[in-house]
Chains A and B, each alone.
Chain A
Amino acid sequence: MAEKQYDWKAIAKHPKFVELHHRKSAFLFGWWVFSLVYYFLLPIGAAYTPGIFKVKVIGVINFGYVFALSQFFVSWGIALFYAHVANKDFDRLTRELIDELHA
């Protein structure tokens, strides 16, 4: 099978690829750090600020419960947002880049 030989160095300097790289890195790293910080607030908060976790929000349901539950929705939210941005921007940039290379 004859595979197309790519000039990887040239692609790496291609403006489309550079744009993809910048946007993707900023997005991925930023949201990854955010998710870690948000997650570790849970065990750290539960251990060192139990008072806040005990505050009742709705009926007997307290802030700690709502916060732990929010972790699920925040994780899902990040996942869906990423899928949206990736499908819209990253995949489009990648496709345009590949089309130009194959042209």
Chain B
Amino acid sequence: MTMKKIVIAATLALSLAAAAFAEEPSKAPATDTAAAVSAPAAPAAAGAPAVTAATPAPPTATAAAPVNSAHKRALKADKTVTISMFAFIIAITMGVVVWAAKKTKTAADFYAAGGGITGTQNGWAIAGDYMSAASFLGISGLISLYGYDGFMYSVGWLVAYITVLLIVAEPCRNAGKYTLGDILSFRTSPKPVRAVAALSTVAVSTFYLTAQMVGAGKLMALLVGIPYKTSIIGVGILMVGYVVFGGMVATTWVQIIKAGMLMSGAFLLSVLVMAKAGFNPIGFFDSIVNSPDIQDHVSKMMLKDGIIMNGIDAGQRFLEPGLFLKAPLDQISLGMALVLGTAGMPHILMRFFTVPTAQAARKSVIIAMFLIGTFYILTTLLGFGSAIHLTPQGIISVDPGGNMATLMLAQTMGAEIAPIIGDLFLAFLCAVAFATILAVVSGLVLAASAAIAHDIYVNVIKDGHADQSEQVMAARITSVVVGACGIVIGLTAENQNVAVLVALAFAVAASGNLPVVVLSLFWRKFNTAGVVSGLVVGTVAAIGLTLVSPNLTYPKAVAAGAQKIVVAMEKKQAALTAGAVLDEKDQKALDKGRKDYEANKDGSSMVGLDKPLFALKNPGIVSIPLGFLAAILGCLAFPSRRSEEMFDEVYVRQNTGLGMAKAVDH
């Protein structure tokens, strides 16, 4: 016990040191400007949450944008206030960890908080687990730049919970114990099923974790000037600390705290925005349509498609679909991945094992739905509010992807009351973003560790013969290893485009996990062969299609683009009178075009392709049916009498809760 306290103290000290260390370089004046200028890259691809799309763009990207200097804005968080808020959050959560560590003695405590979480608590934790920085910052940013499409994009994230509520939550509570493998292995051959289920859980968690870690690093660098690598290591140490010492109890409370902070921040800011509109929604929408800046912004976007639209028509266009989501099939494909994938997300499924009964599981989903839905409706107000009060041009000048809109809005709205309130509000929202990242990554690390330690180590390697202390030890060691891998991946993926990984995580969960979970719970004939073929085919199809999709970089396409610039600039040069030279900007563009062309003309994508084989960015529309088909065909090809005979037991258990949680001891 003393040993444990020393280690916790050491972790706390380390993370504080990381924060303090981070303050050092941020004092250099250069960092401040860098933070304001090196904005995350270009509008996120359709369907990819924008925050995670953050890749540093060259400063020229911002400079090149035709921004009226009157609209130019900067976002700078007050370092001292922000860092103190971070330290405060770290201190509170560490307190929770110390308290939780005392309660974590058995494997059930570690993975499922001993089933002692109430429905209400679990509802807040689900909301905290689910609302990542991408939904917090990305969606309001999309709304602030593209209006209606950003709002439409947010809908699927809530509707997904209908599937969770009606199909998986209660049966999983009744038929499962700690992991996806527990549900699937009930009436099948446990070893192969657990091994495959663990692999798919680890794959989904790794994709999602990588996106979160890279997003975290970028966000911290942009917001408070903490260097990327320091942020990753700091976040990594904290998440490992929460999970290793506090297990599910600590993870749950970190998620609850984060959800509370997020909801109060969003609520407060929405009240300020609506107060400016006199709490009159119709007037609020009128001011969107009548804003000359929004009209101008929409006119420019329409012009790119060759349509001339001005004035009030352009303002009205902002409230109509089609400014951002221009590929309907891709949109539908993403929708499928969301509404079916959420119910197959291992870290979400795992949350249902923490409540004592099916009724509590039901209650927790409903509470989560109200929190998540309210949050997205508030997000709309924040997005449109940003567009009105900051102007789309001003938002783009800070970040072309719009990810900073909410934060800028907080500072502006607060500063109208008093400058210090602006700084405090901004610092508070930065802290919310920080807590958001911690909560989401902790849940993922726990889910991945449970799959490895509980499914692979305890049940496959040790045949289920491991005593409590060995199980808990295995879980802790695995968490450290998973966390360390997360940090290493985060450090190496700094310059990768990770936006695709969030969509991919949902696609794998929807194509691999969901079909086998549903069929296991509801189809009498389902068996081992079906689970294995469904999981493998669904997962491989989702990953494979993504690898040949337009998400990857295709150097030949980059080269062709660069070639166009070179040709245009050379033409311009040739047209000049003898002796005259191109102006500096054009010359730079020419040089860059030539360099890009040379660097890319012989390249091919990561899997060696010149152009995408699959036209959609989201594989769901193809890979989900494939997953279902493979599960059904695999099962019919190798029927199992035992699985069929055991269906009655599974079905009665999942409906009634009889013999609950002792399921895997038989």
Q: Which residues of A contact B (CB under 8 A)?
A: 3-4, 6, 8-9, 11-12, 17, 20-21, 24, 28, 31-32, 35-36, 39-40, 42-44, 46-48, 50, 53-54, 58-62, 64-65, 68-69, 71-72, 75-76, 78-80, 82-83, 86-87, 91, 94, 97-98, 101
Contact = CB atoms under 8 A, between A and B. Distances in A.
The size class of the interface chain B forms with chain A is 35 or more
B656 interface: yes
Interface string B254-293: 0000000000000000000000000001100110110000
A9 B288 CA distance: 63
Given A3-B662, A12-B652, A17-B655, A75 B359 contact: no
Contacts of A91: 359
Contact of A59 (B161, B282, B359, B365): B282
Question: Nearest 4 pairs between A and B by C-beta?
Answer: A47-B328, A46-B321, A8-B649, A12-B648
B282 A68 contact: no
Contacts of A59: 282, 285-286
Contacts of A32: 162-163, 166-167
B158 A75 contact: yes
Nearest to A17: B652
Contacts of B316: 54, 60, 62
A97 B166 contact: no
A44 B339 contact: no
A36 B148 CA distance: 21
Contact of B319 (A43, A61, A75, A82): A61
Given A28-B166, A61-B285, A75-B158, A9 B648 contact: yes
Given A31-B166, A75-B373, A47 B152 contact: no
A59 B377 CA distance: 19
Contacts of B282: 58-61
Contacts of B325: 43, 46-47
Nearest to B647: A12
B362 A35 contact: no
B382 to A, nearest CB: 15
Given A61-B282, A61-B319, A6 B155 contact: no
B320 A62 contact: yes
Contacts of A86: 362
Contact of B659 (A3, A47, A78): A3
Given A42-B152, A60-B316, A20 B163 contact: no
Nearest to A11: B652
Contacts of B648: 8-9, 11-12
Contacts of A12: 648, 651-652
Contacts of B151: 65, 68
Given A50-B321, A64-B320, A72-B155, A79 B162 contact: yes
Contacts of B658: 6, 11, 98, 101
A62 B653 CA distance: 48
B56 interface: no
Nearest to A91: B359
Given A40-B332, A72-B155, A97 B366 contact: no
Residue with the greatest number of chain A CB neighbours at <10 A, chosen from B167, B316, B328, B652: B652
B520 to A, nearest CB: 16
25 contacts: A6-B652, A6-B659, A8-B649, A8-B653, A11-B658, A12-B648, A17-B655, A17-B656, A20-B655, A21-B651, A28-B166, A31-B166, A36-B339, A53-B321, A54-B320, A59-B282, A59-B285, A59-B286, A60-B289, A64-B319, A64-B321, A75-B158, A78-B162, A79-B162, A80-B366
